[in-house]
Amino acid sequence: MSNNADPVFWDHARRHLVRYGGRFEPLIIERAEGSFVYDADGRAILDFTSGQMSAILGHCHPEISEVVRRHAATLDHLFSGMLSRPVVDLAAALAKVAPGALERCLMLSTGAEANEAAIKMAKLATGHYEVVGFAQSWHGMTGAAASATYSAGRRGYGPSAVGSFAIPAPYPYRPQFERDGRYDWAAELDYAFALIDRQSNGSLAAFIAEPILSSGGLLDLPFGYLAALKQKCAERGMLLLLDEAQTGLGRTGLMFACERDGVVPDMLILSKTLGAGLPLSAVVTTAAIEELAYERGFLFYTTHVSDPLPAAVGLKALEVVRRDRLVERAVVAGARLEKGLRALQQRFDCIGDVRGRGLLLGLELVKDRRSKAPAPELGAAITRRCMALGLSMNIVQLPGMGGVFRIAPPLTISDEEIDLGLSILSDAFAAETRKAA
């Protein structure tokens, strides 16, 4: 019997765990290292999603482990009104790498929590309360973050925050607005904001956006879109909040994805990748916004705000990314991965689209490229087959699109590991499309 089938483990899991979304993999993961996780039979599974899109340095990076060990033994958690060196050092380091005049930081734990803080600060600084997001967004599971999340989880919990609005994210593969046979995202954006202006009570505070909407199907904002969005915000006195949970710290081949567009948001929100898999998030904003919020009594006093241990982890993650030139590595490794995915697309008619940047790539599955009809069963079958062959893949299935594999391996992944993942994917596609034929 496989050790993954341990009846006591599964009996306890069934009886004592709350199920919080989707199904659990029928595996017991005992250990993780580098680009792999290992199950209870010692089987290596290549992790093409860096855990929850977070472990950019791979699992259990020795230098991160060492920081955790040292801080757990010497400086872990403090009264929230106390400061320590890792927190101030990380704030200074983020101010140095962040674009433009983003220089004041708030250190928290999760992505949702940081978005919560950013939205609160935006409301206080503008004196307004309406928040706009994309209809395919994911910003987290708590109050304001959940109110700005439209890709999932809205039903059954009562009213979202008053003044929550959504506009469609640009989606070149399935364009809604066309001019002369070409997708016209600028017309779509104009129309969307005309609708926002009609619905607004005159209290627009902020737009919150991911530069690449990951949970929304890996929708990459076309070049120029972010600048146009910033302009729309400026015209209305709204702040632009950029949620770089998944795109921050080199993943797209730049330190921050917004650098491609030369757009500096009013707040840059980091999480996931900042802690390289451990719980750390940050809001980075301008001195002017921070001063205004402070004068108006900004309150975000949490148990783990400014904790030294996670801040020291973030500082080390940033140091390793820069020292080991992982931003540049994401460009090279991403190109190799993308080339392999495009080669697969040539062979399999069910791969409708390959998109993304650096080491954050998406692959949209369809019945065939001509109809672009979604193929949810095929997506689920390929995901299962990959896991059976030793590759962990993640697929999002949203209405109005095919299933989208989100591929985001650690930035430390080797060429050989990329090729291994591509070869498993190829086998899985071959086996499942043969079955479906």
Please report how close the Cβ of residue 213 comes to ligand PLP at its closest, in angstroms.
8
Using alpha carbons, list the distances in angstroms from residue 76 to 88, 111, 311. 15, 21, 10
Please report how close the Cβ of residue 387 comes to ligand PLP at its closest, in angstroms.
20
Q: Is 110 in the site for ligand PLP (CB under 6 A)?
A: yes
- Residue 112 C-beta: closest distance to ligand PLP, Å: 3
Size of the site for ligand PLP (CB under 6 A): 14
The catalytic residue positions are 138, 210, 243, 246, 272, 406
- Look at residue 298 and give its three-state secondary structure: coil
Length of the chain measured in residues: 437
112 binds ligand PLP (CB under 6 A): yes
At 193, phi and psi to the nearest 5? -75, -25
CA distance linking residue 130 with residue 312, whole number of Å: 35
Segment 388-427, which members bind ligand PLP (CB under 6 A)? none
Binding mask 76-95 for ligand PLP (x = CB under 6 A): --------------------
What does the alpha-carbon distance between residue 84 and residue 81 come to, in Å, rounded to a whole number? 10
Interatomic CA distance for residues 389 and 397, integer angstroms: 22
CA atoms of 212 and 281, how far apart (whole Å):
18
CB of 214 to ligand PLP, least distance (A): 5
Identify which of residues 241 and 424 has a Cβ nearer to ligand PLP in the complex. Answer: 241
Q: Which residues of 105-144 are buried (b: 16+ CB within 10 A; e: fewer)?
A: bbbbbbbbbbbbbbbbbbbbbbebbbbbbbbbbbbbeeeb
Out of 61, 139, 251, 385, the residue judged to bind ligand PLP by CB under 6 A: 139
Segment interacting with ligand PLP, rule: CB under 6 A, options 137-145, 198-206, 314-322, 367-375: 137-145
Q: How far is the CB of 104 from ligand PLP (least distance, A)?
A: 20
CA distance to 190, 253, 371, per residue, from 263 (Å): 19, 16, 36
Measure Cα distances from 128 to 44, 173, 200, 201 in Å: 51, 35, 11, 10
What's the min distance (Å) between Cβ of 23 and ligand PLP? 18
Q: Quick check: 111 binds ligand PLP (CB under 6 A)? A: yes
Distance CA 330, CA 257 (A): 12
Instruction: Please give the residues from 201 up to 220 whose contact with ligand PLP meets the rule CB under 6 A.
Output: 210, 214-215
Question: Residues 230 to 269: which contact ligand PLP by CB under 6 A?
Answer: 243, 245-246
136 binds ligand PLP (CB under 6 A): no
Give the residue with the Cβ less far from ligand PLP, 115 or 286: 115
CA distances 335 to 358, 361, 412, Å, are 7, 10, 14
By CB under 6 A, tell whether 138 contacts ligand PLP.
yes
Residue type, 179: R
Nearest-CB residue for ligand PLP: 111
- Decide whether 115 or 147 has the Cβ nearer to ligand PLP: 115
Binding interface with ligand PLP (CB under 6 A)? 110-112, 115, 138-140, 210, 214-215, 243, 245-246, 271
